[in-house]
Amino acid sequence: MTGGPTARAHARAMGAPEDLDHCPFMPTYAPPTVQFVRGEGSVLWDREGRRYLDLLSGLAVTSLGHAHPEVAEAVAEAARTLVHVSNLFGTVPAAEVALTLDRLLGGGGQVFFCNSGAEANEAAIKLARRHGGWGRYRVVTALGSFHGRTLATLHATGQPAKHERFRPLPEGFGHVPWCDLDALDAVVDDTVAAVLLEPVQGEGGVRPATRAYFEGVRELCDERGALFMVDEVQTGLGRTGRWFAHQHFGVVPDVVTMAKALGNGVPIGACWARREVAAAFEPGDHATTFGGQPLAAAAARAVLAVMEREDVCQRAEDAGRRLGEGLRALPAVVEVRGLGLLLAAELAPGIDARQVALDALAAGLVVNAVTPTALRLAPSLLVGDDEIAEALEVLARVLGEHERARPVVPA
């Protein structure tokens, strides 16, 4: 055996054959404790047939729940009809999705399709540099932000600890404290092509911006001639109670990126920009083989149709209020942050959020530790009241056990 006991356990957890002595996957994630084989709505089942309530939605991806019948049918029909033709040609689903996204963003823009949030942010960064011209190439982001794992989006990510092992990183990125307009004002000069911010820092601990901050950023960018780009990869498409989270703050960005919820699990991302900004691109400046291909676009078209019909923005606002109120009443929860159905429950000192998430999983509930001290919840936008009640009951039990066992931490 060459892989060691940890590697073999990893292999078993991933469903590898019993005689395989190593995991077939690169070790970019911690070894999983569960292998899921089926999902329906907000429920998952593992290969032993055990049921789990999913309040994470694949990290805010399956916003209509698992195996939504209309999305499944759209994907099946696309697979039978037209899967791929390349972006040298047009397709009906891609055009319809682009028009819908532009409408939801207020109109006057154009869309570039890709396959993920990181790729959407890469497109935005390249567009900013192309728009800025020679000498205006820098992109400023916030500390605590997360914009992707490619080399450029990794450097855009305001988490220096994630940078160290991959240096040297592409130049042209700067970071300022979150929600600090004075700090931003001090660095946006005539070398800065764009400011790129999340309306809610998702991986940074679910930390919303404020209206005053976003209004100030918009004003500052206008004054200095920089683009204001908003990363809505985790927050977009109804998650926060608006179609896009920046709409809470009453500003109109120059560029908006999105992904996760757009395909309800089918990989698709998009970068939207105002037409006069998008015009900086010329044929050959940017491309992707699979972006907006008919199968992914057909899934997105079905997702958007269901979202509009079900009024997911209102549902997220109402369900998020109920879930937030329930979380605040739980043992060991000292703060609840977020908007709509993207929430974090900050735990009392001495309680390890990672262990709480593992214990919740063992009890049949899927959440995750977005930081060592906070749980993240991002359920389906169609989550029911009974499912929220069930999740709160599980968390009350798990957190109650941790509260009773936690050491006394000095004030």
Q: In 3D, which of 170, 322, 313 has the Cα closest to residue 241? A: 313
- Decide: helix, strand or coil at residue 195: strand
3-state secondary structure of 191: coil
The amino acid that residue 148 corresponds to is G
Asked if 359 is an active-site residue, the reply is no
Contact 409, 349 (CB under 8 A): yes
Spot the catalytic one: 54, 173, 228, 231. 231
Q: Cα 260 to the chain's mean position, in Å?
A: 6
Cα 272 from Cα 261, distance rounded (Å): 15
Instruction: Tell me how far apart the alpha carbons of residues 251 and 249 are, in angstroms, rounded to a whole number.
Output: 6
Chain mean position to CA 176 = 21
DSSP 260: G
Contact call for residues 291 and 113 (beta carbons, < 8 A): yes
Burial of 401 from C-beta contacts in 10 A (0-12 / 13-18 / 19+)? middle
CA atoms within 13 A on the CB side of 204: 25
**Residues shown for the chain:** 411
Count of Cβ atoms closer than 10 Å to residue 216 Cβ:
17
Q: Does residue 54 carry a catalytic annotation? A: no
What is residue 216's three-state secondary structure?
A: helix
**How much of the chain is in helix, strand and coil states, percent to nearest 5?**
40, 20, 40
Q: Which two tokens stand for residue 380?
A: 């389906």
3-state secondary structure of 111: strand
d(CA 212, CA 252): 14
- Cβ neighbour number for residue 93 with a 10 Å cutoff: 22
**What's the DSSP call for residue 143?**
B
DSSP tag of 320: H
Residue 254 among the catalytic residues: no
Choosing from 146, 228, 244, 249, the catalytic residue is 146
Nearest C-alpha neighbor of 123 from the set 255, 262, 297 = 255
Q: Which sequence positions are flagged as catalytic?
A: 146, 231, 260
